Amino acid sequence: MRSFDYVVVGAGSAGCVLAARLSEDPRTRVLLIEAGAADGPESMAIPPAWPTLIGSSVDWGYVTVPQPGTNGLVHPYPRGKVLGGSSSINAMAFLRGHRAGYDAWVRNGAAGWGYDDLLPFFKRAERAAGRDSDYRGTEGPMVVSSAENVHPLAHACLDAAVEVGHPVTADLNGKEQEGVAWLDTNIVDGARQSAADGYLHPASVRSNLTVAPNATVRRLTLSAGRCTGIEYSVDGELRWVEASREILLSAGTIGSAQLLMLSGIGPADHLREFHIDVVADLPGVGANLQDHPLAGITYSSAKPVPPTTNQHSDLIAMVRSRPDLPAPDVQLVFLDIAYHPPTLAGPTNGYTVGFSLMLPHSRGSVRLASSDPDTAPLINPNFLGDERDLAAMVTALRLAREAGEAQALAQWRSGEVLPGAAVRDDGELREYVRRVTGPYFHAVGTCRIGHDPLSVVDTELRVHGIEGLRVVDASVMPHIIGANTHATVLAIAERAATLIAR
């Protein structure tokens, strides 16, 4: 059995940060272990090819359980299975949530995780040239910029957004976090930059950092209330490794919750269903699953939509569904492809105005389907399970349609295909939203920060009741933030690395 100071489970966004930062101390021995391969297909580096990575060899290939009110509809639920994790297969958006969302974490028991607490770590993660240095970083590993070659359709979409009254902001990651703006992405010289590219690969030359791909962690090993190591397999052969200081669980919102439960840490009654010995009864493990529900209005184009060199959405808007809200709760994303569920027939030449609810009330869960680590867990995002979310999504649809029908898009717009211009009645729109809403792939919350009975980790991300074990990934977010989640995961991991090293 080998031993390291720290064993990091999962080489996704958070795991890459932890491995790189902790190994900066040459006296510290770090093992980073990843179930996926070291490399993926060539398309992984090509920004507009990201949709082809869903269901590929670098995706865990998860699906949801049937969603409520959809006649048994299930959704693909991709999670990256390769160095870089989901940052290697996502759409490369780099967007912070509104400061109000992080400050709400503090009010709900996550002291130390407010916007001002995280701002130094947001800045530490990024290299955003030419931006306001009060808010943006200039020396971090992740290169952040808006599109160099903006798609011509995106220019028309910007004019449409302004036409219907949305203000323009120079930087949604800066001081003004509301309005329409060019989207920041992690695209460098025309290629994707994953967390593995930004953090891990430069650190991999260090002799005190060991990276082990193609190694599937099966359980945590525990003794007398302390996590001492992990059990994992390589090509079917079981192996063990110890951590003299800590195990850092960064397997993601799905994987971290599953591994805790397989190891006897979770809801006691649920674990006993699978004859798993209960080490710590933590009912919040696997609960509180949240995602941004995503849908869209799809148009046929009056002229050919040229291909893009970017990731299909150069422009984004953060808006409010009601003026009395403290922060934007709807994201409009302008796509240069016809993006819709494969169950619906869309145009061969078209584009989509997507809409997503940023602050959903619905909560889902991750539960075991078996005590066998090779069996995928049961994932229930419970999209639109709360009626307030359905009503807000219909409002978001109307906002998207308002922009889509603007005169500025007349030269592109042939007609509305989905749901169709004749679909106007509130009941019909609710039915359409139910039918087309799916995941934005922003899963968070299954191991949330707090001190109440349903929390899983404390404010330093230590698992309640277990020594030597922390969770560091999107699962610790108490509430989903009002933006794509990758930038926030990096900031969480940057702050966690500082806490751990201290």
Can you tell me the mean pLDDT for 236-260? 98
Whether the pLDDT of residue 449 is over 80: the answer is yes
**Domain check: are 26 and 51 in the same one?**
no
pLDDT at residue 155, as a whole number: 98
Can you tell me the mean pLDDT for 355-364? 98
Whether the pLDDT of residue 143 is over 90: the answer is yes
Confidence grade of residue 97 (pLDDT, cut at 50, 70, 90): very high
High-pLDDT (> 70) share of the chain, %: 100
**Domain check: are 320 and 187 in the same one?**
yes
165, part of any domain: yes
99, part of any domain: no
Can you tell me the mean pLDDT for 270-292? 98
pLDDT at residue 148, as a whole number: 87
| Active-site residue list | 442
Is the overall model pTM greater than 0.85, yes or no? Answer: yes
460: CB partners within 8 A, 6+ apart: 470, 499
Whether the pLDDT of residue 1 is over 90: the answer is no
Which of 330, 326, 302 lies closest to 316 in space, CA to CA?
Answer: 330
Total domains in the chain come to 2
Whether the pLDDT of residue 439 is over 80: the answer is yes
pLDDT at residue 387, as a whole number: 96
**Domain check: are 276 and 392 in the same one?**
no
**Domain check: are 202 and 302 in the same one?**
no
Can you tell me the mean pLDDT for 117-141? 97
Which of 391, 407, 439 terminates a domain? The answer is 439
**Domain check: are 165 and 301 in the same one?**
yes
223, part of any domain: yes
Q: Which amino acid is at 169?
A: T
Confidence grade of residue 475 (pLDDT, cut at 50, 70, 90): very high
**Domain check: are 52 and 158 in the same one?**
yes
pLDDT at residue 68, as a whole number: 85
Whole-Å CA distances, 86 to 75, 77, 122, 304, 437: 17, 11, 19, 32, 21
Element (H or E) spanning 7, and its range? strand 2-9
**Domain check: are 308 and 418 in the same one?**
yes
Whether the pLDDT of residue 445 is over 80: the answer is yes
pLDDT at residue 431, as a whole number: 95
CATH for 351: 3.30.560.10
Element (H or E) spanning 259, and its range? helix 252-262
478, part of any domain: yes
> Which pairing describes strands 237-249 and 226-234: parallel, antiparallel, or unpaired?
antiparallel
Element (H or E) spanning 429, and its range? helix 426-436
Can you tell me the mean pLDDT for 249-264? 98
- Residue for token pair 């009912």: 283
Which of 421, 439, 457 terminates a domain? The answer is 439
Q: Residue 258: which domain range?
A: 2-42+194-289+444-501
pLDDT at residue 343, as a whole number: 85
Q: pLDDT tens for residues 180-229?
A: 999 999 999 999 999 999 999 999 999 999 999 999 999 999 999 999 99
**DSSP characters over 10-46:** --SHHHHHHHHHHTTSTT--EEEE-SSBS---GGGG-
**Domain check: are 238 and 301 in the same one?**
no
Whether the pLDDT of residue 125 is over 70: the answer is yes
CATH for 212: 3.50.50.60
Average pLDDT, the chain: 97
Confidence grade of residue 415 (pLDDT, cut at 50, 70, 90): very high
Q: pLDDT tens for residues 379-413?
A: 999 999 999 999 999 999 999 999 999 999 999 99
**Domain check: are 175 and 219 in the same one?**
no
Q: pLDDT tens for residues 17-52?
A: 999 999 999 999 999 999 999 999 999 999 999 999
**Domain check: are 404 and 431 in the same one?**
yes
Can you tell me the mean pLDDT for 354-367? 98
